[in-house]
Amino acid sequence: MAEVAVQAVELVKWFGAEDIRTYAVREVSFEARFGEMLYITGPSGSGKTTLLSMISGILRPNSGTVVVEGKEIWRLSPNELADFRLHTVGFVFQDYHLFPKLTTAENVALPLILKKQDWDESLRLALEFLDVVGIKDRAQLPPSRLSGGEQQRVALARAIVSRPDILIFDEPTASLDGATGRKIIGFIKENLLNEHRCILIVTHDARIFEYADRNLKMEDGRIVEIVNGGMGGLSEA
């Protein structure tokens, strides 16, 4: 069995003051392994994004632990946590959050620039990864001149340019049509998933469920079902 990439133990997260406390995640535990494409699915408000944020070092849980590659991330200092996100995790945000005042290539190069790599070298690598996602010819355009699918690919290139071990996607197909969405996810699984990488995807887009190795179904802040494979796999819990 492949090595554990991410381990969440008894994660709890609530929002609001004590008297009006709202639980977003309730005692969630799971593991994700290298070489695995893990989906976190469920209806809106079920706690998917909160869970993803806690395991990617963005949102501190109220209790529980997150271990990534053997490191308990919420014991790290703020700067170490930033380094963890920079070196270990690649994000693709739901709205992409591309920088409209930078070129496509500069957007992709951002993680490398944050890693203090040379500007020209970062752009050269960015071009390589834009080539990987098939939009090298758009490198000098601002993101606003790209289609939704192309912007998704830019965000993807930005997430993988620093070769992170953990790739995190938040609703990657939310603003894409079905065919483009499937094409993108198919591309991710075929080209980016390997034995040294774990991919976590938050989605409620049933059109792409077929690509999941496992699917964590959430409701009301709890994992209610873990399905192996697409929608028709074995149930573990």
Partner 1 sequence: MRGILRVAFKLLVNDRGKFAALIVGITFAVFLMVQLTSVFSGILTKASATIINVGASVWVMDPAVNNPLNSIQLPDYILDAVRSIDGVKYAVPLYSGVALVKLHDGVYQPATVMGLDDASLVGRPELIAGKIDDIFADNGFIVVKDEEFSKLENPEIGTTFEINDHRGVVVGIAKVASSTLFGIPTLYTTFTRAIQYIPSTRFTIAYILVEPKSDKDIPYIKNQVAQAGYLALTNTEFQQLIANYYKYQTGIGTNILIMTLISFLVGLSICGQTFYTFVLENLDKFGALKAIGAKGYELVYMILFQTLFTGFTGYGLGVGLCSLLIAVAKNKVPNYAADITYFNLGMAFLMVLIISGVSSFIAVRKVIKIEPFDIFRG
Q: Which stretch binds partner 1 (CB under 8 A): 34-42, 84-92, 208-216, 229-237?
A: 84-92
Q: Does 94 bind partner 1 (CB under 8 A)?
A: yes
Taking CB under 8 A as the rule, which mask of x and - marks residues 48-67 in contact with partner 1?
Answer: -xx-xx----xx--------
Question: Residue from 78, 144, 190, 232 that binds partner 1 (CB under 8 A)?
Answer: 78
Q: Which stretch binds partner 1 (CB under 8 A): 33-41, 89-97, 132-140, 213-221?
A: 89-97
State which residue, 3 or 118, has the beta carbon closest to partner 1. 118
Taking CB under 8 A as the rule, which mask of x and - marks residues 156-175 in contact with partner 1?
Answer: --x-----------x-----
Residues 115-134 that bind partner 1 (CB under 8 A): 115-119, 122
Partners of 226 in the beta sheet? 216
Which candidate, 6, 2, 5, 16, places its Cα nearest to that of 51? 6
Residue 73 φ/ψ, nearest 5 degrees: -70, -30
Q: Does 204 bind partner 1 (CB under 8 A)?
A: no
Question: Residue from 9, 33, 74, 87 that binds partner 1 (CB under 8 A)?
Answer: 87
The answer to whether residues 196 and 36 touch, using CB atoms and an 8 Å cutoff, is no
Task: Give the separation between CA 226 and CA 231, rounded to whole angstroms.
Answer: 10
Residue with tokens 């996602």: 133
Closest distance to partner 1 from the beta carbon of 82 (Å): 5
Q: Does 111 bind partner 1 (CB under 8 A)?
A: yes
Q: Determine the Cα angle at 213 with ends 210 and 219, to 5°.
A: 80
State which residue, 58 or 229, has the beta carbon closest to partner 1. 58
> Cβ atoms within 10 A of the Cβ of 102, count?
14
Partners of 39 in the beta sheet? 201, 215
State which residue, 170 or 213, has the beta carbon closest to partner 1. 170
Which candidate, 62, 101, 68, 26, places its Cα nearest to that of 167? 68
Which candidate, 199, 233, 197, places its Cα nearest to that of 215? 233
Q: How many residues bind partner 1 (CB under 8 A)?
A: 36
DSSP H helical ranges for the chain: 48-55, 78-88, 104-114, 119-132, 148-160, 178-187
Q: Does 99 bind partner 1 (CB under 8 A)?
A: yes
Q: Does 4 bind partner 1 (CB under 8 A)?
A: no
Residues lying near partner 1 in the complex (CB under 8 A) are found at: 49-50, 52-53, 58-59, 78-79, 82-87, 89, 91, 93-95, 97, 99, 101-102, 106, 110-111, 113-119, 122, 158, 170
